[in-house]
Structure 1
Amino acid sequence: MTTRTIGCDTADGLSRAVRRIARDHGLEPSVRGRLVLSVAAVAEPAIAQPAVAEPAVAQPAGHTSLSWTFQCDDDDRAGLLTLAVGLDDSAALPSAEAAAALPLPADAVTGREVVWRLPATPAPPDAAGVEAAGSPADDAALVEEELRAVVARTDALTAEHRRLKDELAETNSGVLALYVQLDERDAQLRKAHGQTLRELEDALRPAPLEVDGLELAVHYAPAGTDAPTGGDLYDWFVLPDGTVHITVVDALGHGVTSTRGALNVTHAVRTLALEGHHLQSIVARTDEILLPFDRSVMATVLLARIDPATGELTVANGSHPPALLTRGDGGARYLEARGRGIGFPMPGSDRLLTEKMAPGDLLLLYTDGLTESRRNPVEGEKRLIEAAYEHLHAPIEEIPGAIADDMHTVILHPDDTLALAVRIRS
């Protein structure tokens, strides 16, 4: 292993020397070209620029040294070429970051030298040598060879970029098609889910009730689409004596759990009513029936009996918001019947409240989600009277939903909402 060193005072001479060393040691033309550019960039501060005109006083030339060593194992022709550019004390040495950013990054910056270590082959014995003067044609051929290598590399990179771009476009097309399929599938699932929920909701509702002399309609809206069943339920049916029984239940909580509790309450009330139990006793008896099966159920209950022939109305209450009776002649009042609901201490209705409904009168039974969507429930009850007046003479099937829309222009506290309207037919 022998280290050879030469001095270089011009950029052209340094470039020719590096190019010949790289050629003699079998470096690829593209690597050779980047090495020449990198060495020139490092040596530029130390090499004097040629003057435009002859100076009156000669300027000292900058100085660089170029040293190179080839090392290889005896049994292996491939080896390592170490090439170093030394700068004199007047030149600025590049930083490690600048050396790493060269066209061919340097391997080390040590002392006053910038070093490259490159896989190479030994120079052939008949090599012309760095010191030998080569013809301009030889240098031009080497430069042309380097340019061709750069062009070929550029073309290869361009082709690779085009291939990757085509693959990316194809992948994006496939991903887009997958998104479309997933979106269609999601739409199908949402449709099926919605259909199932509607069927479930319909299964929870009693059959529509047709009674001579009465008009009935109901509106229900859950607190959110993720829990469409809720704990607000109703039941209506005709008793053997011809009176209509209506139950409105609001079970504590939301979702399927509260729905189960509300269903248990409505079924127990229906059973007791059909067995002929007195209206005032049904709330307390329902609590007694459900207590052994579900100690966690808590629900408010409002029971109403209406005689379509006479218009006689009887109401029992277990902690539920009072029914609103709006008269056809303009009067309105809440039917305050005190009591405590299912699961409450001492459950039951304290007393019954009786009214006489006339043709055109509107009875509104509801859950607290209708009046307590804002901060002030008292203000909600006042607005409910105004909304009932506004829609008093509308078709019965439109009244509950229209009232709910008027009450829910602003919703601060979302809750399940049930509104049930009964009107004596004129």
Structure 2
Amino acid sequence: MTDNTTSHHHTLLSLRQAVRKVARVHRVPVETRARLVMSAVDLARTEIAAGRPVRLEACAEPSPGGTADQLVVTLDTLSDLTADRGGIADLPLPAQFASGGSVTWRMPLPGRRGDGGSAGKGDRGSDEGTVLPAQNGGAAAGSGCPTSEIHAVEQELRAVLARLDSLTAEHRRLKHEIAETNRGTLALYVQLEERDEQLRKAHGQTLRELEDALRPAPIEVDGLEMAVHYAPAGTDAPTGGDLYDWLQLPDGTVHITVVDALGHGVTSTRGALNVTHAVRTLALEGHPLESIIARTAEILMPFDSELMSTVLLARINPATGDLFLANGSHPPALLLPAGGEPEYLEVRGRGIGYPLPGSERLLHVRMGPGDMLILYTDGLTESRKDPREGEKRLVEAARRHSDRPIAEVPGAIAEDMHTVILHPDDTLALAVRVPPA
């Protein structure tokens, strides 16, 4: 260990001068020197105010790696500074604390000097060789401090200002970069929004085309008016498990199928499509209406054991108004006679995937001029989680809109029924009316 110096101090001014001199002699960078002075004064302030002196020791020694020297500055006080680390944890220059009131700073030095430790006059890290004009034996007029001390303080202030200017310039540069990045991000966001809008339009078009492909083509039959409304539970799929089918059979009667397969989205659509296709095939082959639900289950269940679906079948003769219904666990059809009270047409039965599937019987009624039949799925009446309350509201809505053009009736009924939706579900409403005489 070399260049060992020790001194005792009773005033903060004396301590400042001693620490600053040690740092100048060893060419400690100005910014580090300022931090060292402030840290030593902060630690010694309480001791000196209480009248207790502090001891300052400084030495230059090889660093642990042996590649360069380091300056070791130790401040000894009579108080144990480790007892109040919370108040000194934010020192300008971090230090090592030891019990008994000892604090040590270790700072790497820029290089050793060959003159016994004195810095050269041309070294910008020290002002040891600089002497300014002074009065009163080397002190600045009226200041009470040596000229070299004042010069050292000015150096530290200049270093602080230079550092501040550097940080300000860096902050300005970063702000400019952030602004440029934000502009680029905004432009990218606009592009992504435009692309997203294009994708939404394309997706919507694809969904509409898929929905049109799933919906059977409208049919026109003399003596009947028909219209349908469908809305999926979610916007991510064009349809769910609620499907319908209508066709005119070779004998002139109109066959209508309403299916509600368990689940939502495209997965349930597959099951509903299988049911409607099987029913259509059986109807065209001439199977009795009362046997079609059971026969459909026999055909489909070996291929899809998870399939569960309710089914409502209607067969209407446009010439006579005869209506036949078969039901497999589906909500009952609603009949609104032109001159009578609305009536739910109840038929017992079990759907596809249920035990003993099939309709227990056929229900036969005759529709007259102006009569209207409403077929639907439970998404229409159970949107508020109360089927009975939903059936009452359906009667009121059907009465309210029964005189409108048939094309508007299903949608108007669905709009009234869904003013409040507590249980979103696929919704299907299909209206059949015998034109008034």
Deviation at 1:338, TM superposition (A): 2.5
Residues 25 and 117 in structure 2, CA contact (< 8 A), matched pair in contact too: no
Deviation at 1:93, TM superposition (A): 7.2
> Which one is further off, 92-101 or 356-365?
92-101
* 1:41 partnered with 2:30: no
Question: What letter corresponds to residue 220 of structure 1 in structure 2?
Answer: Y
After superposition, where does 1:242-281 map in structure 2 within 5 Å? 242-281=252-291
Structure 2 CA distance, aligned partners of 1:298 and 1:76? 83
With over 3 angstroms needed to count, the CA separation of the structure-2 counterparts of 1:9 and 1:338, relative to structure 1, is: closer
| Paired residue secondary structure (2:40) | helix
Report the equivalent of 2:22.
21
Residues 45 and 92 in structure 1, CA contact (< 8 A), matched pair in contact too: no
Structure 2 CA distance, aligned partners of 1:377 and 1:158? 70
Report the equivalent of 1:54.
none
Report the equivalent of 2:122.
none
Corresponding residue to 1:174 among 163, 166, 184: 184
- For residues 192-218 of structure 1, give each alpha carbon's deviation from its aligned partner in whole angstroms, at most 9, with x where no partner exists: 222222211111110011222221110
Deviation at 1:237, TM superposition (A): 1.1
After superposition, where does 1:10-409 map in structure 2 within 5 Å? 10-48=11-49, 62-72=52-62, 78-88=68-78, 95-120=84-109, 121-122=111-112, 124-125=115-116, 127=118, 135=139, 136-409=146-419
Residues 207 and 237 in structure 2, CA contact (< 8 A), matched pair in contact too: no
Structure 2 CA distance, aligned partners of 1:378 and 1:370? 12
- For residues 51-87 of structure 1, give each alpha carbon's deviation from its aligned partner in whole angstroms, at most 9, with x where no partner exists: xxxxxxxxxx5422221111138x9894111112222
With over 3 angstroms needed to count, the CA separation of the structure-2 counterparts of 1:77 and 1:322, relative to structure 1, is: closer
With over 3 angstroms needed to count, the CA separation of the structure-2 counterparts of 1:361 and 1:35, relative to structure 1, is: same
| Paired residue secondary structure (1:370) | helix
- For residues 288-335 of structure 1, give each alpha carbon's deviation from its aligned partner in whole angstroms, at most 9, with x where no partner exists: 332343333222221112222222222222222111110112421111
Residues 294 and 358 in structure 2, CA contact (< 8 A), matched pair in contact too: yes
Question: What letter corresponds to residue 22 of structure 2 in structure 1?
Answer: I
Deviation at 1:179, TM superposition (A): 2.7
Deviation at 1:48, TM superposition (A): 4.9
- For residues 28-53 of structure 1, give each alpha carbon's deviation from its aligned partner in whole angstroms, at most 9, with x where no partner exists: 1111122122222222223359xxxx
Aligned residues: 412
Residues 33 and 146 in structure 1, CA contact (< 8 A), matched pair in contact too: yes
Question: What letter corresponds to residue 33 of structure 1 in structure 2?
Answer: A
Residues 32 and 93 in structure 2, CA contact (< 8 A), matched pair in contact too: yes
Structure 2 CA distance, aligned partners of 1:201 and 1:363? 24
Sequence identity (%): 64
Deviation at 1:94, TM superposition (A): 7.3
Structure 2 CA distance, aligned partners of 1:110 and 1:176? 57
| Paired residue secondary structure (1:218) | strand
Question: What letter corresponds to residue 81 of structure 1 in structure 2?
Answer: L
| Paired residue secondary structure (2:73) | strand
Structure 1 unmatched runs, 5+:
50-60
Residues 273 and 279 in structure 1, CA contact (< 8 A), matched pair in contact too: yes
Deviation at 1:119, TM superposition (A): 1.5
Residues 325 and 334 in structure 1, CA contact (< 8 A), matched pair in contact too: yes
Structure 2 CA distance, aligned partners of 1:314 and 1:93? 97
Structure 2 CA distance, aligned partners of 1:71 and 1:85? 17
Structure 2 CA distance, aligned partners of 1:373 and 1:126? 91
With over 3 angstroms needed to count, the CA separation of the structure-2 counterparts of 1:220 and 1:126, relative to structure 1, is: closer
| Paired residue secondary structure (2:423) | coil
Question: What letter corresponds to residue 73 of structure 2 in structure 1?
Answer: L
With over 3 angstroms needed to count, the CA separation of the structure-2 counterparts of 1:316 and 1:127, relative to structure 1, is: closer
Question: What letter corresponds to residue 46 of structure 2 in structure 1?
Answer: P
Residues 70 and 122 in structure 1, CA contact (< 8 A), matched pair in contact too: no
With over 3 angstroms needed to count, the CA separation of the structure-2 counterparts of 1:103 and 1:146, relative to structure 1, is: same
Question: What letter corresponds to residue 85 of structure 1 in structure 2?
Answer: L
| Paired residue secondary structure (1:27) | coil
Structure 1 CA distance, aligned partners of 2:186 and 2:37? 48
Structure 1 CA distance, aligned partners of 2:81 and 2:258? 91
With over 3 angstroms needed to count, the CA separation of the structure-2 counterparts of 1:112 and 1:345, relative to structure 1, is: closer
The two structures have a TM-score, normalised by structure 2, of: 0.86
Structure 1 CA distance, aligned partners of 2:81 and 2:104? 15
With over 3 angstroms needed to count, the CA separation of the structure-2 counterparts of 1:46 and 1:332, relative to structure 1, is: closer
Structure 1 CA distance, aligned partners of 2:318 and 2:411? 24
Question: What letter corresponds to residue 384 of structure 2 in structure 1?
Answer: R
Structure 1 CA distance, aligned partners of 2:192 and 2:9? 69
Structure 1 CA distance, aligned partners of 2:78 and 2:313? 105
Deviation at 1:180, TM superposition (A): 2.7
| Paired residue secondary structure (2:405) | coil
With over 3 angstroms needed to count, the CA separation of the structure-2 counterparts of 1:219 and 1:76, relative to structure 1, is: closer
Residues 315 and 354 in structure 1, CA contact (< 8 A), matched pair in contact too: yes
| Paired residue secondary structure (2:71) | strand
Question: What letter corresponds to residue 105 of structure 1 in structure 2?
Answer: P
Deviation at 1:97, TM superposition (A): 4.0
